[in-house]
Amino acid sequence: MTRKKSQQSNSNDVKKKGSSGKEEVFYGIPVSPGFVIGKAFKFENDIVPAIPSYDIKQSQVPLEIARFETALIATRKQILDIQKKISEAMGTEHAEIFNAHLLVIEDRVLIEEVIKILEKELKNIEHVFLKVSEKYGEIFSRINDEYLRERASDIKDVTKRVLSNLMGQAQKDLSQLDEEVIVVAHDISPSDTALMHRDNVIGFATDIGGPTSHTAIMARTLDIPAVVGLHDASKQIKSDVTVIIDGNRGTLIVNPSKQTLERYGKEKTRLELYEEELAQLRTLPAQTQDGYCINIAANIEMPEDVPSVMAHGAQGIGLYRTEFFYMNRRDLPTEDEHYEAYFNVAKKIYPNYVIIRTVDLGGDKFLSQLDVPQEMNPYLGWRAIRFCLAQTDFFKVQLRAILRASSLGNIKMMYPMISGIGEVRKANALLEEVKQELSREGISYDPDMEVGAMIEVPSAALTADIIAKEVDFFSVGTNDLIQYSMAVDRVNERIAYLYEPSHPAILRLIKYVVDIAHKENIWVGVCGEMASEPALALMLIGLGIDELSCSSVCIPELKRTIRSVSYSDIRHMADSIFNLTDPREILNKANELIREKVPGFLQL
């Protein structure tokens, strides 16, 4: 696993609290390397506080009204604070979501009804407020108008906030943190991670999730240590205790002992030296000892990630996941907003390339703006290209924006979750339609923009010969290819042990795709997390992959590995693994090569 520098929170409280309380270690799945010591912040977004219900006397009514008013004022202040922070970090349009929340707490009809019922029923204010807001939420959720139906969720969010204030337990959200913390939660959705305060969240740990869940991927992009799949650890941890997240070993250590802190202190020095060494490789090519070069690119989720791509020495962006652009907002992005984001990314990375992936909604990334019914199997359902081909007006907005931005000449585009040639043909026909529209309107675009298909569904891999004829390149999405080939839900920690990239079935599929691509004279990359692990990356190079794209933070160690071995060693290793049957034995073979050839490869 790739490793990176260690961190220690700036909080002065940390050492004091660490020396009291008994040390406890929880074991999970390491998903983002490095370790960090800091103060826990328990994030309980999904928990509604238990609401008390009791009778009050007539004489207590004014007091209850005063409590209500104080809670409304506090809630208003919190919402304005969030708005300000989001607007500074992400722009005013993202902050506008909260206007609707302000409208709820300022709604005279709702407030007067609460007071009327309070006076009539003589029950505590929490009980009355919950009852009235539930009634309103229910009415809105039944209205046959998408916009008004959305108000039901605003009422629910605000109700939770007001009740928390009434009961003196205000819950911060992840954009509101004002000090460095390690977030501990049962789960964190990709949209929560998108909202995270980038400077103040220094690590996170969740009870559920697997190594390729989008929350885990986001941790790597943000370059913060993370562990998932900790079962019920979050239930046993309180805010403010000292914890260590070890994203190399997959542990969460609560109340670390003096000895543990000393051990991590020593490791910190070791990792820092290692980091310094890796940093020197930034501008060097990923070239083997015998001169074979491989293209190393980075994956990004947001335009803000581009500086890290450059700082880590990537030669381009092999995957721009555009769906985060749609999150944490009430409306859909306009064509101009899309265009500006893509153009800016392309400009910053120029003359290197960026591969923009058309939107991959569904799976673990849902949007409240779209009226998509809940499905039993979201990963097998109305996801990615399937959704886009059914909602062509929605899809065309993005295609137009990508094409407009392509006039710079360094944009490539690819379709996610292709399962067969029919989808490629339909998407390409739509792209052609959009090109003609733009030409008629006199808007320039790159007529030769390369268009690729992601290979992440076994049916696409096995029909690669057919699909290759309609595209300029393939990008193998191993996160999904493994999920779909091995029937392993990528976000389910209970079966994460079955998620084996070195399984012969996966290696055979990839080899087949590479051989076909090269026969058809197109190039093929891998942009799944498999590309970020040095041992697996060597296997992929040995199978003939032309480009590896992974989280920026993993690139220096990948370069170091590639620069230490020869291509003939890699080919030899890759040939030999096809005689092996056990995924662990196969992985071991590649690790042997690393142990033998990569000097000082850090073993923890």
* 489: contact with ligand PEP by CB under 6 A: no
User: According to DSSP H, which parts of 31-124 are helical?
Assistant: 61-90, 92-95, 97-105, 108-121
Dist CA 251 CA 26 (whole Å): 6
Pick the catalytic residue: 94, 101, 197, 214?
214
Of 134-142, 476-484, 516-524, 558-566: span binding ligand PEP (CB under 6 A): 476-484
Cα 138 versus chain centre, distance: 32
Could you say whether residue 360 binds ligand PEP (CB under 6 A)? yes
User: According to the annotation, is 386 in a ligand binding site?
Assistant: no
Burial 567-597 (b: 16+ CB within 10 A, else e): bebbeebbeebeebeebeebbbbbbebbeeb
Check if 527 is active-site: yes
State how far the Cα of 118 lies from the Cα of 125, in Å rounded to an integer: 7
Burial (CB count <10 Å: 0-12, 13-18, 19+), residue 512: middle
Q: Which is nearer to Mg ion, 79 or 476 (CB)?
A: 476
Q: How far apart are CA 490 and CA 213, in angstroms?
A: 6
Using CB under 6 A as the criterion, what x/- string covers residues 519-538 for binding ligand PEP?
--------xx----------
Token pair, residue 408, equals 């710079």
Q: Which of 94, 101, 527, 554 is catalytic?
A: 527
Q: Which is nearer to ligand PEP, 38 or 210 (CB)?
A: 210
What does 558 interact with, of ligand PEP, Mg ion, none (CB < 5 to 8 A by kind)?
none
Known binding residue 490? Answer is yes
Give 127 or 365: the residue with its C-beta nearer to Mg ion: 365
Q: Please, which residue, 39 or 321, has the CB nearer to ligand PEP?
A: 321
Size of the site for ligand PEP (CB under 6 A): 10
d(CA 584, CA 146): 51
Contact (CB, 8 A) for 286 and 295: yes
The nearer residue to ligand PEP, 210 or 477, going by C-beta atoms, is 477
Q: Tell which one of 39, 321, 404, 559 touches ligand PEP (CB under 6 A).
A: 321
Applying CB under 6 A, does 455 fall inside the site for ligand PEP?
no
Known active-site residue 518: no
Angle at the Cα of 597 from the Cα atoms of 592 and 603, rounded to 5 degrees: 65
Q: Tell me the two tokens of residue 389.
A: 């081909």
CB of 458 to Mg ion, least distance (A): 13
Does residue 281 contact residue 306 with C-beta atoms inside 8 Å?
Answer: no
Please tell me whether 357 is known to bind a ligand. yes
Site stretch for ligand PEP (CB under 6 A), options 71-79, 345-353, 473-481, 595-603: 473-481
Q: How far is it, in rounded angstroms, from Cα 230 to Cα 26?
A: 7
146 belongs to an annotated ligand binding site: no
Strands 451-455 and 226-228, sheet pairing: unpaired
Task: Choose the one of Mg ion, ligand PEP, none that binds residue 467, judging by a C-beta under 5 to 8 angstroms depending on kind.
Answer: none
Strand 251-254 with 242-246, pairing: antiparallel
Quick one: 37 or 513, whose CB is closer to Mg ion?
513
User: Which of 423, 446, 456, 500 lies at the binding interface for ligand PEP (CB under 6 A)?
Assistant: 456
Q: Least Å distance between CB 543 and Mg ion?
A: 19
* Dihedral, CA of residue 63, residue 64, residue 70 and residue 73, to nearest 10: -140
Choose among ligand PEP, Mg ion, none what residue 527 binds, the Cβ cut-off being 5 to 8 Å by kind: ligand PEP
Looking only at the bridges linking them, the beta strands covering 547-551 and 353-357 are unpaired
Q: How far apart are CA 359 and CA 190, in angstroms?
A: 15
Asked if 478 touches ligand PEP (CB under 6 A), the answer is yes
Is 404 annotated in some ligand binding site?
A: no
Q: C-beta of 433: minimal distance to ligand PEP in Å?
A: 26
**Least distance in angstroms from the C-beta of 319 to ligand PEP:** 6
When the beta carbons of 71 and 537 are compared against ligand PEP, the nearer one is 537
Pick one of ligand PEP, Mg ion, none as the site partner of residue 502 (Cβ within 5 to 8 A by kind): none
Identify the residue among 9, 479, 502, 551 touching ligand PEP (CB under 6 A).
Answer: 479
C-alpha distances out from residue 434 to 399, 427, 439, 593, Å: 7, 11, 9, 49
Residue range at the interface with ligand PEP (CB under 6 A); choices 178-186, 236-244, 477-485, 561-569: 477-485
Residues across the chain = 604
- Return the closest-CA partner of residue 604 out of 35, 221, 18: 35
Q: Shortest gap between Cβ of 413 and ligand PEP (angstroms)?
A: 15
Binding residue numbers for Mg(2+) = 456, 480
Binding residue numbers = 321, 357, 456, 479-480, 490
What residues make contact with ligand PEP under the rule CB under 6 A? 319, 321, 360, 456, 477-480, 527-528
Catalytic machinery residues: 214, 527
